[in-house]
């Protein structure tokens, strides 16, 4: 019985790391695209009713969240912060940019799974 539990726990650890790495790579890429002023990002944020400062803020949050995903004790909080960014991206895509919003749902589902799987760690970090 202990072997099944150990194997299940080890499998969960592998899944968590795979999801963390995937999301960290995605958000590092996205954050750098925003901070480096790539034309597509400048144009998309130009469609929003906020200034370009919001592109910089979003890029910084994405990079910090991606780094947090790679630190096990902060991974849950990083996933939570990135989920908030992703929800904002969904509404921006639907309401202003009118572009592909399906990817925000897929990314959000992965981030929500990370938040759920690390909920105890998040509660511990927040002192709840």
Q: DSSP per residue over 114-125, as a string? A: HHHHTHHHHHHH
Q: Name the nearest CA neighbour of 33 among 41, 43, 23.
A: 41
Q: What is the pLDDT of residues 46-94, one digit of tens each?
A: 999 999 999 999 999 999 999 999 999 999 999 999 999 999 999 999 9
What are the distances in angstroms from CA 123 to CA 7, 17, 28, 46, 118?
Answer: 26, 20, 25, 37, 9
Determine what percent of the chain is predicted with pLDDT higher than 90. Answer: 89
- What per-residue confidence (pLDDT) applies to 107? 98
For the chain, the domain total comes to: 1
Task: Classify residue 10: in a domain, yes or no.
Answer: no
Please give the span between the terminal C-alpha atoms of the chain, in angstroms, as a whole number.
33
Task: Classify residue 105: in a domain, yes or no.
Answer: yes
Task: Classify residue 45: in a domain, yes or no.
Answer: yes
Is the pLDDT confidence value at 127 over 80? yes
Task: Classify residue 4: in a domain, yes or no.
Answer: no
Measured over the CA atoms of residue 115, residue 73, residue 81 and residue 19, the dihedral's sign is negative
> Please, what is the average pLDDT of the chain?
95
Domain range for 40 is 16-126
Task: Classify residue 5: in a domain, yes or no.
Answer: no
- Taking residues 96-122, report their average pLDDT: 96
């Amino acid at each position: 019985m202990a072997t099944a539990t150990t194997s299940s726990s080890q499998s969960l650890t592998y899944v968590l790391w795979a999801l963390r790495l995937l999301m960290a790579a995605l958000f590092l890429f996205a954050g750098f695209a925003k901070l480096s002023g790539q034309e597509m990002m400048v144009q998309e944020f130009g469609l929003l009713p906020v200034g370009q400062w919001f592109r910089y803020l979003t890029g910084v949050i994405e990079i910090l969240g991606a780094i947090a995903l790679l630190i096990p004790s902060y991974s849950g909080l990083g996933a939570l912060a990135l989920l908030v960014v992703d929800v904002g991206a969904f509404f921006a895509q639907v309401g202003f940019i009118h572009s592909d919003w399906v990817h925000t749902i897929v990314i959000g589902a992965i981030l929500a799974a990370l938040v759920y799987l690390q909920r105890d760690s998040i509660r511990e970090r927040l002192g709840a």
